[in-house]
Structure 1
Amino acid sequence: MFKYVINESAYLKLLDLSDVDELFALTDRSRDTLREWLPFVDDVKTVTDTERFVKRAMQQYADHNGIQAGIYYDGKLAGVIGYHQINWQHKWTSIGYWLGNEFVGKGLVTNSMKALIDYAFYYLKLNRIEVRVAVGNIRSRTIPKVLGFHEEGRLRDAEWLYDHHVDQVVYGITAAEWKKIKMANEATVVL
């Protein structure tokens, strides 16, 4: 079982069947906001749809091909973050994330990203992580920038959102770059 403590208020936990009802309710409450940038929302109509997603996430973890973790804040499910899949041959993955409306602005995604980046580079021994974000999703684009990812390019018409294509910006960071950032942050704290 995957569990990663972020701080005294927040932790990540591999999604399992006990999370289905709470995850569906969170998705449903945040449906209008999530739908603006995430293509899966209209496919989540019932608790059974969420159960299918969680079962796929559990299988993904069992197959050693990624993690879909719940972001928990003060004991409540606040969102989801995970590796889409892991390319073991080339040692890279990509990360996706979302939060329910009532949990935005608490630093949860940024801190959850730090945890998954550390896990990817130090435990899984991967070499590269990508984040792809719709060009217009400014709030979500801020997160990889703050964490030191490099903007690597723009993919035209890369994602279908219900009735139109959107361009995506690709951000990337390598294990060596992340280690330098961590070392610089630790040196700043010591001073």
Structure 2
Amino acid sequence: MFSFKYDDDVSLALPSPDKDSELLYALIESSRANLCQWLPWANQLHSAEDEKNFLQTTLSHFGTSNSLNCVIRYRNQPVGMISFNRINKEHRHAEIGYWLGDQWHHKNIMHRAVTALLTIGFTEYNLHKVIINVDINNDASNHVAQKLNCHLDGTKRDDILYSNGKFADMNEWTLLRSEWENRG
């Protein structure tokens, strides 16, 4: 199984649907109120079996190099997920998505997980640019992009429709390979 160790605490690994689905679903269930604010899919998962099916689908997308979905592990325990949702091979860019269970916030886990995925993207996938789209009101995710010195390309108006029927503006943050290589 693919695994990338960032440091002694944080690693990324391809999901094991049989092993990870119940634990991840429990995290989603306990964090649903917060996740639903920012991630429209959170209200569409109703069971560990739904999560297992999703994880199996992500593995097939990995097999075709269309996306890369990883379980974020903190001290070997699943605490969330991170992904290149869509990998554009022609233009060599990908969009990052991520979530973390509520009880794992404020431990610098997401910063390390995104850093790990950026390393994979720029070194293994030969990406030129990585994109992070974040609701303008999601302070925590905007902070992750800022801390990584991503460039705020702009705000896309009414870019996402949430399950409550309301549209939201999204900040588009990007990081170029050259910026990654020249980080200090």
Q: TM-score, normalised by structure 2?
A: 0.96
Aligned residues with identical type, % of pairs: 25
Give the aligned partner of residue 179 of structure 1. Answer: 181
Structure 1 runs (4+) greater than 6 angstroms displaced: none
Give the aligned partner of residue 169 of structure 1. Answer: 171
Give the aligned partner of residue 12 of structure 2. Answer: 12
Give the aligned partner of residue 2 of structure 2. Answer: 2
Q: What is the CA–CA distance in structure 2 between the aligned matches of 1:103 and 1:7, rounded to whole Å?
A: 16
Q: What is the CA–CA distance in structure 2 between the aligned matches of 1:122 and 1:78, rounded to whole Å?
A: 25
Give the aligned partner of residue 130 of structure 1. Answer: 131
Structure 1: any 5+ residue segments left out of the alignment? 185-191
Give the aligned partner of residue 56 of structure 1. Answer: 57
Report whether the alignment pairs 1:96 with 2:97. yes
Give the aligned partner of residue 139 of structure 1. Answer: 140
The CA RMSD over aligned residues, in Å, is 0.9
- The offset of 1:47, in angstroms, is 1.4
**Structure 1, residues 141-179: CA drift from partner, whole Å, max 9, x if none?**
011111011000111111111121101000001100111
Where does 1:78-89 land on structure 2 (aligned, <5 Å)?
78-89=79-90
Q: What is the CA–CA distance in structure 2 between the aligned matches of 1:129 and 1:74, rounded to whole Å?
A: 27
Report whether the alignment pairs 1:105 with 2:106. yes
Structure 2: any 5+ residue segments left out of the alignment? none
Number of aligned residue pairs: give it. 182
SS at the partner of 1:119? helix
- The offset of 1:100, in angstroms, is 0.2
SS at the partner of 2:182? helix
Q: What is the CA–CA distance in structure 1 between the aligned matches of 2:158 and 2:45, rounded to whole Å?
A: 24
Give the aligned partner of residue 188 of structure 1. Answer: none
Where does 1:64-75 land on structure 2 (aligned, <5 Å)?
64-75=65-76
Q: What is the CA–CA distance in structure 2 between the aligned matches of 1:135 and 1:68, rounded to whole Å?
A: 24
